Amino acid sequence: MFVFRIDSRSGVPPYLQLVHQVRQAVLLGFLKPGDRLPLIREVSEAVAINPNTVAKAYRQLEQEGLVTGRPGQGTFVNETSAATISPATYTSLQRGLEAWLGRARAAGLDEQAINALFTASLNQAKNENIA
């Protein structure tokens, strides 16, 4: 079963954190078409947020076409046209990223500096049509 996490220090509204987590889980293949998301009540109790916040996240995911709510049954992941990453590719990329993070930490970068470097590199790659 999919488990949500909320970071109260992130500055990102809780409903958007839920939306981002579902998007990422679908992209990475952790959630597959037909999988049921946890019930609103279950999420609300597990992460200690208002059920209306969870409902807002689920509504946004429905509007995006990522999930469909079925009355009395729950909310289910839709078939998507977005490509998912194979487990082998995911593992390889994760290992490479972990190695890069280790080198960044060894060079003395803290989390904020690592985020800044990664974001700058991603934006540069977008501008050069690499990413």
- Give the pLDDT confidence score for residue 131 in this predicted structure: 56
Q: Which residues contact 80 (CB under 8 A, 6 or more apart)?
A: 26, 33, 65, 66
Domain 14-77 = CATH 1.20.1060.10: no
Task: Write out pLDDT tens, residues 7-40.
Answer: 999 899 999 999 999 999 998 888 999 999 999 9
Under a CB-based contact definition with an 8 Å cutoff, are residues 32 and 77 in contact?
A: yes
pTM of the model: 0.71
Dihedral sign computed on CA atoms, order 98, 102, 107, 112: positive
Helix (H) or strand (E) holding 92: helix 87-106
Sorted by where each begins, the domain ranges of the chain are 14-77, 87-129
Task: Write out pLDDT tens, residues 70-127.
Answer: 999 999 999 875 566 777 887 888 899 999 999 999 999 999 999 899 889 888 888 8
